[in-house]
Amino acid sequence: MNDLLTVENLNVDFLSGLMRVEAVRNVSFTVAPSEILGIVGESGSGKSVSCRAVLGLLPGHARVNGRIIYDGKDLGAMSANELSLTRGRDISMIFQNPSSHLDPLMTIGDHVAEPLHYHFGLDKKNARIKALELLDVVKIQNPEQRYTAYPHELSGGMKQRVLIASALACQPRMLLADEPTTALDVTVQASILELLKSLNRDHGLSMIFVSHDLGVIAEICDRVVVMRGGEIVEQGSVNQVVGNPQHEYTRLLIGSQPGRLDSYNQPSHEGHALLEIEQLSVRFNDKGGLGTLLGGRSRAVNALDNININIRSGETFGIVGESGSGKSTIARAVVRLIEATSGAIVFQGKLVGDLKGLDLVEYRRQVQMIFQNPYDSLNPRASVRQTIAEPIWRHGLATQQDANERAIELMAMVELSENLANRRPRQLSGGQCQRVAIARALALSPRLLIADEVTSALDVTIQAQVLKLLARLKDSQDLTIIYISHDLAVVRKFCDRVAVLRHGKLIETGLTDKVFDQPANDYTRTLIDAAPELDSALLNAAAL
Amino acid sequence: MQQLAYIGRRLIQLIPVLIGISIISFLLVKLSPGDPIRLLLGPRATDDAVAAVRITYGLDEPLLKQYFIYLGNLLAGDLGRSLRYRIPVSDLIVQFLPRTLFLIAYVMSLTLPLTIGLAIVAARHQGRWLDQVIRIFSILGMTIPVFWLAVLMARYFGAELGWFPVSGWGSGFMSHLHHLFLPALSTSLWLIPLLVRNLRGALIEQMESDYVVASRAKGLPESYIFRRHILRNSLLPTLHLLGVMIAFLVGGSVIVEIVYAVPGLGALMVGSVIGRDFYVVQGLTLVYAIGTVLVTLTVDMLTAVIDPRTSA
């Protein structure tokens, strides 16, 4: 068999201070023509580094060893000049965050035209004609009009299409895709995956598809490489690896996929109403001050439009939606980080908007929030124990001394070892930080816990642990949880009832199983179909 | 289209700023100690004579009415008469302004190429000896006061070596260049380090940005990536700093103009303040303020042209 790309014994280390830190060890894999190879792994597994090493895109302080053979040519032995002739022409690459990978000062047309100019020597006019064709191939509507648009005028999905068009401009035979859909909404992700699949099918484009999401990998890849801690743990066809994992870590990874988790939802729950959101609207006005007064455009955004939700005591209520749907705005309105423009929020019979002084403090004690990024929401200078104890004595519930002792109990409750008590956030992993944030929220014995994308920044194996912890705490602490997430698979397993939001409007609400199995609204169905899921992806692959 | 709308908006916003400037320059004379009429008529004028002149100048009117008269005169281009030179202030400014503008343009033509060159060299050799040398000279340049450097250079290159004249501004373009070389250079030497440090920082930040990696992945040559992507994105913050510095120079030229006896606005300003030439001071204040506003406006417009996001 003639492989298009062969990577043999790839080792990469980075100079960090005086130390050399190994990032990739003894990695070997091959990609056949027209094949899509998946590389799956969690953060720090070395999947991106391996990918960048192939194209020589690592920063100067990286040391790369090993053989990288593309179509008989040894990329590792090439001079910088020869390598830049190979890039874009033979192998190209697309990246995770399309916004930051496009020059904000260059039109999208020029982004696509510039490699044509450099590799093929096309003049401006011909490069433009070719670039327009490419924009059409990646399904940018009205390419003529969009040609002179700047990146900030496009949506995330559009930007990724532009990035793909500019990477494929010179018809490379291989594309390295480094988490190309991770920053995108699920429906957009589905369309980008479809585009990549069609490029593979129609043009025979080989691909290395790097992702942390096994569901996405199963959807698009033929074979998969599982990486962990800079090493390859296992590789083989997707069916074989998922169906019959040989390595313990692979089994853990597969078992942590949201679709394979135990279901925590208890749809029969009938508690009294704890929180009622009635006709809630939030408008953001762009207060331009003098500028608006003097002819500037004033913009008002309807972040939330007439939302009605009842949350019952003791249930887990999911709020799902894509970016900009207003799901976080609900949470912020409930804890009064922002004020409602109209409508009412009623907590245990009291109007939240009217609370003042001590009543407001008491309300905020009973309603606690956990945020997406655990590092950003913890004070970097405070130790774990101080972080957890602070709200207790600040609210006057105990003396500082007692609060410190209570903090240790709370650490045990969220399964944090006591000897982490004096660590600072940067000495902890993401999962540990999120546990600290949960313990801090529970320190005040709240009635209602609002979890805003709490597992989105975590690896799947850690996500599985945190979800399990939250489910256990919910029962033992008699909590009501509002779980906000873009991840439908997680919501399905975790929440009793669910509300679907889009552009600030409530699309559908109901029991989770019912909404997922028989969605009443087309948008809900689109959203569910678009969400990548390991088992359904495998079934689809088998059917083909 | 968007950019035109933005520039239009920006121009409308100027109106309140200009009104503010006119009020302040008007009050400046009203609030400063001393009576311009007494100064005009001399110490031996009788009270009756003073009162009579006061009426002819309209100074007995209520303050608000005086302001509107002043505003009307301004719009007609009348800034009053100099008490000292006995000619209209506007004529005086028209006579002195070109020299200062010439000096500023000279400073800029020395500063810009050197700044861009040095910043690029420093950024490309980040952390290596060439970068360190540039850094050390930058710190030196920032810490040495302009007036001291000016005096020193006038002594050495002017008096000792006799290469350059140490005063005046000559006649004819080449002679201007020759005369103003030392003043321009000593100002540049203070300006360049600030701008180099700013641009170097921006360049290094942009060199590490994601779109540079993406450009490399497309196989674009390094020199092109640097020129077309990195440099352009880095220039914006430095452009803003430059705007502030030029605005500062309009007033800041005073020191060099005095040291090198260049008959520019700065020299005129100092002379008028000392000679209590009220209306000249008032007129110059107005010119400085409008100069600053124009520079900021130009920078904003340039930014709008370079960066499509600002006008969105």
Query: Choosing among A58, A168, A294, which should be mutated to test the B contact, i.e. which has the most B CBs within 10 A?
Result: A294
Query: Quick one: what percent of chain A has pLDDT higher than 70?
Result: 96
CB contact under 8 A, B9 and A152: no
Q: Which of residues 140-199 of B touch A (CB under 8 A)?
A: none
Query: Cβ contacts (< 8 Å) between B216 and chain A: which residues?
Result: 55, 57, 84, 87
Q: Are A421 and A408 in contact (CB under 8 A)?
A: yes
CB B267: neighbour CB atoms within 10 A? 20
Q: Are A91 and A174 in contact (CB under 8 A)?
A: yes
Q: What is the mean pLDDT of residues A212-230?
A: 91
Q: What is the ipTM for the molecules in this complex?
A: 0.80
pTM across the whole model: 0.82
Amino acid at A294: L
Query: Cβ contacts (< 8 Å) between B15 and chain A: which residues?
Result: 294
Element (H, E) at A74: strand A73-74
Q: What is the mean pLDDT of residues A316-330?
A: 89
| pLDDT (0 to 100) of residue B9 | 85
CB contact under 8 A, A101 and B213: yes
- Sequence-distant (6+) residues with CB within 8 A of A8 are A28, A66, A67, A68, A69
- Regarding predicted confidence, which is higher, A183 or A98? A98
The yes-or-no verdict on residue A288 having pLDDT over 60 is: no
Give the gap in angstroms from C-alpha A84 to the nearest C-alpha of chain B: 4
Interface residue A55 vs chain B (CB under 8 A): yes
Give the gap in angstroms from C-alpha B215 to the nearest C-alpha of chain A: 8
Q: What is the mean pLDDT of residues A388-410?
A: 91
- Sequence-distant (6+) residues with CB within 8 A of B184 are B103, B106, B107, B110
Q: Among the listed ranges A279-293, A423-437, B131-145, B279-293, which one has the minimum average pLDDT value?
A: A279-293
The yes-or-no verdict on residue A462 having pLDDT over 60 is: yes
| pLDDT (0 to 100) of residue B120 | 94
CB contact under 8 A, A294 and B12: yes
pLDDT per residue as tens digits for the range A82-125: 888 899 999 999 998 888 999 999 999 999 999 999 899 899 99
Q: Are A253 and A460 in contact (CB under 8 A)?
A: yes
Cα(A506)–Cα(A326) distance, integer angstroms = 9
pLDDT per residue as tens digits for the range A441-456: 999 999 999 999 888 8
CB A280: neighbour CB atoms within 10 A? 24
Interface residue A164 vs chain B (CB under 8 A): no
Interface residue A166 vs chain B (CB under 8 A): yes
CB B299: neighbour CB atoms within 10 A? 19
Interface residue B86 vs chain A (CB under 8 A): no
Q: Among the listed ranges A468-482, B32-46, B51-65, B224-238, which one has the minimum average pLDDT value?
A: B32-46
pLDDT per residue as tens digits for the range B249-291: 876 678 888 888 888 888 888 888 888 888 888 888 888 888 8
CB contact under 8 A, B9 and A100: no
Q: Which residue of chain A is at minimal alpha-carbon distance from B12?
A: A294
CB contact under 8 A, B222 and A84: yes
Query: Which one of A305-319, B271-285, B297-311 scores highest in mean pLDDT?
Result: A305-319
Q: Among the listed ranges A219-228, B27-36, B57-66, B77-86, which one has the minimum average pLDDT value?
A: B27-36
- Cα torsion A124, A127, A133, A139: sign: negative
Give chain A's mean pLDDT: 88
Q: Which of residues 477-496 of A touch B (CB under 8 A)?
A: none
The yes-or-no verdict on residue A294 having pLDDT over 50 is: no
| pLDDT (0 to 100) of residue A295 | 47
Cα(A497)–Cα(A492) distance, integer angstroms = 9
Please state the separation of Cα B170 from the chain's center in Å: 22
Q: Which residue of chain A is at minimal alpha-carbon distance from B7?
A: A296
Give chain B's mean pLDDT: 86
Give the gap in angstroms from C-alpha B13 to the nearest C-alpha of chain A: 6
Closest Cβ opposite residue B12 in set A85, A104, A295: A295
Query: Cβ contacts (< 8 Å) between A150 and chain B: which residues?
Result: 308-309
| pLDDT (0 to 100) of residue A480 | 92
Element (H, E) at B179: helix B173-207
User: Hey, what's the torsion of the CAs at A394, A395, A396, A397, to 10 degrees?
Assistant: -120
pLDDT band at A544 (very low <50, low <70, confident <90, very high): low
| pLDDT (0 to 100) of residue A114 | 93
Give the gap in angstroms from C-alpha B289 to the nearest C-alpha of chain A: 20
Residue A349 Ramachandran class (φ > 0 left, ψ -120 to 50 alpha, else beta): left
Interface residue A173 vs chain B (CB under 8 A): no
| pLDDT (0 to 100) of residue A296 | 47
CB contact under 8 A, A105 and B214: no
Cα(A90)–Cα(A173) distance, integer angstroms = 6
CB contact under 8 A, B232 and A105: yes
CB contact under 8 A, B220 and A114: yes
pLDDT per residue as tens digits for the range B147-196: 888 888 888 888 888 888 877 787 888 888 888 888 888 889 888 999 99
| pLDDT (0 to 100) of residue A104 | 92
Q: Give me the domains of chain B, ranges plus CATH numbers.
A: 2-75 (no CATH), 89-307 (1.10.3720.10)
pLDDT per residue as tens digits for the range B114-131: 999 999 999 999 889 999
Query: Quick one: what percent of chain A has pLDDT higher than 90?
Result: 46
Closest Cβ opposite residue A163 in set B12, B214, B228: B214
| pLDDT (0 to 100) of residue A290 | 46
Closest Cβ opposite residue A87 in set B208, B211, B217: B217
pLDDT per residue as tens digits for the range A488-537: 888 998 999 999 999 889 999 999 989 999 999 999 998 888 888 787 77
Query: Cβ contacts (< 8 Å) between B306 and chain A: which residues?
Result: 105
Please give the C-alpha separations between residue A47 and each of A14, A233, A512, B14, B143, in angstroms, as whole numbers.
15, 12, 35, 54, 49
Query: Choosing among B218, B229, B233, B236, which should be mutated to test the A contact, i.e. which has the most A CBs within 10 A?
Result: B218
